[in-house]
Chains A and B, each alone.
Chain A
Amino acid sequence: MTGEVGRSSIRSDGAAKTTGKAIFGTDVILPGMLHARLLRSTVPAGRIISLDLSKVVEFPGVHGVLTAADTPNQRSGLVLMDAPLFASEFVRFEGEPIAAVVADTRAIANQALALASLEIEEIHSVGSVEEAIAPNAPLVHPDWESFATPPGLEWPRSGNIVAETSSDPEGVDEAFAGATTVVEDQFETGRQYQAYMEPRMAVAEFDGQRFTIHVAHQFPYNVRDRVAAAIGVNPSEIRVVGHHIGGGFGAKLDTGLEPYAALLARRFGRPVRLANDRSEDLLTCQCRDNAVIKIRTAIGKNGELLARDVDVLMDSGASATDIPFLTSIPMHVFGSLYRIGPVRIRTRAVYTNTAPTGAFRGVNGTHLYFALERHMDHIANRLNIDRLEYRRSNLQPDGCKLPTGQVLNDAGILSEAFDAVEQLAPWNGLGQGPNRGVGIAACMWLTNPMPGSATLKLNSDGTLGVLTAATENGSGAIATGVRQIAAEEFGLPAEKVIVTMPDTDAAAFDAGSQGSRTTHIVGRAIREAAIEVRAQILDTAADMLEAAPEDLELANEMVSVSGSPSKQVSLAEVAATAQANSGPISGTGSYTTPMPPINPTCASGLLFPAFPTPTYHVHVAEVEIDPATGIVRVLRYLVAQEVGKAINPQAVRGQIQGGVAQGLGYALWETLQIDAGRYSQRTLEAYGLPLATDTPEVEIALLEHPDPAGPYGAKGVAEPPIIPVAAAIGNAVEHAIGKSVNTIPITAEHVLEALSNS
């Protein structure tokens, strides 16, 4: 063992990324490459009266255009087949593609597109979740009933309600009838734009038979399958090649521009690049959904939580994307953390005439825990009990059951996380003084269980190759975690492990960088593969050393005979010998986390049934409010995070610091107001990302409770740091000003408004 696991080994991509040599998707240049642009809807809802592209086509340097009329254009989607490639009769959101133009350069494509003659008759748009469910609301998709779902997958949906998950256990009404106190809240949370620095792009080529699509994408296999469905070819006709990804945070999990680039490459016979400029990227990104959450809790005479009733309305935008899975998440959130009786939950996601929403790090966990933990503060305040004390005295014990019936065997870890933040800075010492406040919030979160694989090959120079379709989206999961796990298996230094870039022609399926899964799943797949590879190494070395395989030891790049260390051969020699005599050494492993058992009748529409490999976290925020401006300054930020095992502590720290910064942006600054279906903010500056001067250094305590199924005990790391931030900040702001702000973001204007409502 070299001790690679647990060491802050530097990233494999560090040199490439500091010298400008790293090729990101947007840097891919192919010989003969043409440049495409999309003509997009300028209104949120309307009927296309006329579209005349003749001037566009005639423009010098233009190769041609594509519209709905030229394409198969069947509706497709991640789970509900509701999204056309090009709008034909109706447009359903601002930015929806209507046509594509392809030209010699991007500048020519832009100039030509300005000559398009497009007439849209604007119709009344459904601009908010409340409008969507109002009686007699116009339907965003009048033909919703015709939309197909994958075989065997059905869930409740009707009209503007694209997905509904509901659970109505016995005893809720009785508990409310007998309650001493009832506390009720409503929270409204905004959209959050992933705002990765590299706008979305795709480059496609067609060789007469097969497509190759160059991407900077979190989930190459999904690109393959989604493009195949959208343009009507077999998945195996598409090869997806991954390049460095300039950030994704969930927005590069579904397809975006790839199907258009593929169709254009086939139609015009040359490689085609299609890339968003920033404003169209912002307008059309699958942002974190905005939501309205109503929550009511019945409380007994000793402060016990008797029952709860929750109603969540999520904004899916103009198509379903992955939202039908996310309506399940409240079932895993609202009965977690604290002991509670029966919980009734109804979650509806609705269509509106806005850009489709989708996955963003922590998905709807950010606003669901905002509601849960803000509500807990309100309960404690009503009962006149210290907010921390109230939480601690109601913590779920090991073996507790979620409303789904899932048993959390290790829920008691949360209590240790509360201890850990107290050690970083005592609760009673924070938030003291005028205009200061302190807030605390916890969360329990999953490690995404979806499948992955890895193939290991021992090279004849003693290095180890790892072939996987998993992606490095910046987190370090591949550049550090997976590489170090592979190194540890064979007693190699991390520098001697080479992990391939993703290529769907070469590596087996991997479910992409989502849900903090890569280190956990691919790391475990590597350990599975290593069993086979190790056996091949030892068999070969046994022949070379004339010893029995079971008497051999593998350490420090050498295989030696136990007890006589002078009898040894190097891994390079073993690899070369095997290659010459019995064939190269290689092996493959796969893994997917088994789903924990649940009660299948607990709810309807539960497409995402359980939270496997849970982890437990506590955040504390100390803030200071400027009463004149309403500006909230974050003075201190504490995180206790449970990670199973920190494979690379500095990389873990980077995930926590970066995740908290995104959470602060969500809580305080980042704003996408929707006005009659249109975003009011249309540039990065107006949107309001956190700057270096806004972001405090996060103080971190790591808890390690190794997962027996995880590689060296590792669980998911990257998502939890963003989840409780808005809740902790909201609680701190309320503590500071003595007024409740139940919206996200909590902008300076909101604070001033709350201060003036006395």
Chain B
Amino acid sequence: MRTKLTVNTRDVSVEAPPTETLLTTLRDRLQLTGTKEACVEGECGACTVLLDGRPVDSCIYATAAAAGLSVTTVEGLCGLDGSLSPLQQSFVDHFAIQCGFCTPGLLMTLNALLEANPDPDREEIENAIAGNLCRCTGYTQIVEAVEAINQESLS
């Protein structure tokens, strides 16, 4: 079946079985491999993308259900010249990355958080990312990367 949607501001039209997940469409059909596959059970958040600004686990979301909606993936976060967004830059500056496999999903979840709540406190940040597993960092430097943005935007 054919589904039309917008991916990172570009209109796309995909021919896929009705059961195909958004993750498979993104990774295998559109070759947008920035979105990661780690469990395919909706348990880890590595596959998080934004659907009309709302974070969803793309591994358990049917592409067909995204018809007409706007999908943002990690590839859609940086500027047109490839420059990093403030959140991406803050992840780099604050050592919020180790292996980096959880990073795209975390960035999407946190973009949605900051959109809704530009100045979250530590607890709000931790609650927001409680569905994103990171096995490497122990989370502290991720939380600090988000806090640093707030401080910068406040000053």
Tell which of A91-99, A145-153, A585-593, A693-701 binds the partner: A693-701
Q: Are A278 and B40 in contact (CB under 8 A)?
A: yes
Q: Are B140 and A695 in contact (CB under 8 A)?
A: yes
Q: Are B129 and A197 in contact (CB under 8 A)?
A: no
- Whether a CB of chain B sits under 8 angstroms from the CB of A229 is no
Among B44, B132, B136, chain A packs the most CB atoms within 10 A around the CB of B136
- Residue-wise, chain B 123-150 has the 8 Å CB interface mask toward A (1 for contact) of 0011101101111111111110000000
- Whether a CB of chain A sits under 8 angstroms from the CB of B99 is yes
Q: Are A654 and B141 in contact (CB under 8 A)?
A: yes
- Whether a CB of chain B sits under 8 angstroms from the CB of A13 is yes
- Whether a CB of chain A sits under 8 angstroms from the CB of B46 is yes
- Whether a CB of chain B sits under 8 angstroms from the CB of A338 is no
A389 to B113, CA, bound (A): 48
Nearest Cβ in chain B — how far from A267, in angstroms? Answer: 24
Task: Using A244-B100, A692-B139 as known contacts, say yes or no to A685 and B41 having CB atoms under 8 A apart.
Answer: yes
A698 to B139, CA, bound (A): 11
Q: Are B34 and A19 in contact (CB under 8 A)?
A: yes
Q: Are B95 and A654 in contact (CB under 8 A)?
A: yes
- Whether a CB of chain A sits under 8 angstroms from the CB of B31 is yes
Among candidates A194, A661, A684, A691, residue contacting B41 with C-beta atoms closer than 8 Å:
A684
Q: Are B132 and A474 in contact (CB under 8 A)?
A: no
A697 to B28, CA, bound (A): 38
Task: Using A247-B136, A249-B135 as known contacts, say yes or no to A657 and B93 having CB atoms under 8 A apart.
Answer: no
- Interface positions, chain A 18-58, Cβ under 8 Å from B, are 18-24, 26-27, 29
Q: Are A684 and B140 in contact (CB under 8 A)?
A: no
Which chain A residues border B99 with CB–CB below 8 Å?
Answer: 196-198, 244-248, 473-474
Task: Using A18-B91, A684-B39, A692-B139 as known contacts, say yes or no to A197 and B98 having CB atoms under 8 A apart.
Answer: no
- Whether a CB of chain B sits under 8 angstroms from the CB of A650 is yes
Which chain B residues border A658 with CB–CB below 8 Å?
Answer: 98, 135-138
Interface size on A, residues (CB 8 A): 58
Among candidates A19, A244, A698, residue contacting B75 with C-beta atoms closer than 8 Å:
A19
- Whether a CB of chain A sits under 8 angstroms from the CB of B38 is yes
Nearest Cβ in chain A — how far from B130, in angstroms? Answer: 5
A689 to B103, CA, bound (A): 17
- Interface positions, chain B 29-48, Cβ under 8 Å from A, are 31-41, 43-44, 46
A245 to B91, CA, bound (A): 18
A697 to B99, CA, bound (A): 20
Which chain A residues border B34 with CB–CB below 8 Å?
Answer: 19-21
A731 to B32, CA, bound (A): 48
Nearest Cβ in chain B — how far from A470, in angstroms? Answer: 15
Nearest Cβ in chain A — how far from B126, in angstroms? Answer: 4
- Whether a CB of chain B sits under 8 angstroms from the CB of A199 is yes
Nearest Cβ in chain A — how far from B112, in angstroms? Answer: 15
Q: Are A23 and B33 in contact (CB under 8 A)?
A: yes
A691 to B106, CA, bound (A): 13
A701 to B129, CA, bound (A): 28
Among candidates A16, A29, A277, residue contacting B31 with C-beta atoms closer than 8 Å:
A29
Which chain B residues border A690 with CB–CB below 8 Å?
Answer: 138
Number of A-B contacts (CB under 8 A): 171
Task: Using A13-B100, A21-B34, A475-B98 as known contacts, say yes or no to A197 and B44 having CB atoms under 8 A apart.
Answer: yes
Which chain B residues border A473 with CB–CB below 8 Å?
Answer: 99
Which chain A residues border B104 with CB–CB below 8 Å?
Answer: 20
- Interface positions, chain B 87-114, Cβ under 8 Å from A, are 88-89, 91-95, 97-104, 107
Among candidates A10, A246, A683, A691, residue contacting B93 with C-beta atoms closer than 8 Å:
A10
- Whether a CB of chain B sits under 8 angstroms from the CB of A321 is no
- Whether a CB of chain A sits under 8 angstroms from the CB of B5 is no
Q: Which residue of B lies closest to A24 (CB)?
A: B101
Q: Which residue of A lies closest to B46 (CB)?
A: A197
Q: Are A651 and B95 in contact (CB under 8 A)?
A: yes
A698 to B134, CA, bound (A): 16
Q: Are B95 and A277 in contact (CB under 8 A)?
A: no
Q: Are B74 and A683 in contact (CB under 8 A)?
A: no
A8 to B28, CA, bound (A): 37
Q: Are B135 and A662 in contact (CB under 8 A)?
A: yes
Which chain B residues border A474 with CB–CB below 8 Å?
Answer: 98-100, 136
Nearest Cβ in chain A — how far from B41, in angstroms? Answer: 6
Which chain B residues border A10 with CB–CB below 8 Å?
Answer: 92-93, 95
Q: Are A661 and B101 in contact (CB under 8 A)?
A: no
Q: Are B135 and A247 in contact (CB under 8 A)?
A: yes
Q: Are A197 and B38 in contact (CB under 8 A)?
A: yes
- Whether a CB of chain B sits under 8 angstroms from the CB of A202 is no
Nearest Cβ in chain A — how far from B60, in angstroms? Answer: 13
A248 to B33, CA, bound (A): 20
Q: Are A27 and B137 in contact (CB under 8 A)?
A: no
- Residue-wise, chain A 480-518 has the 8 Å CB interface mask toward B (1 for contact) of 000000000000000000000000000000000000000
Among candidates A247, A249, A683, residue contacting B101 with C-beta atoms closer than 8 Å:
A247
Nearest Cβ in chain A — how far from B64, in angstroms? Answer: 16
Task: Using A197-B101, A197-B133, A695-B140 as known contacts, say yes or no to A11 and B36 having CB atoms under 8 A apart.
Answer: no
Q: Apart from A658-B136, A695-B139, what 5 extra A-B contacts exist at CB < 8 Å?
A: A18-B88, A24-B36, A29-B31, A246-B38, A247-B136
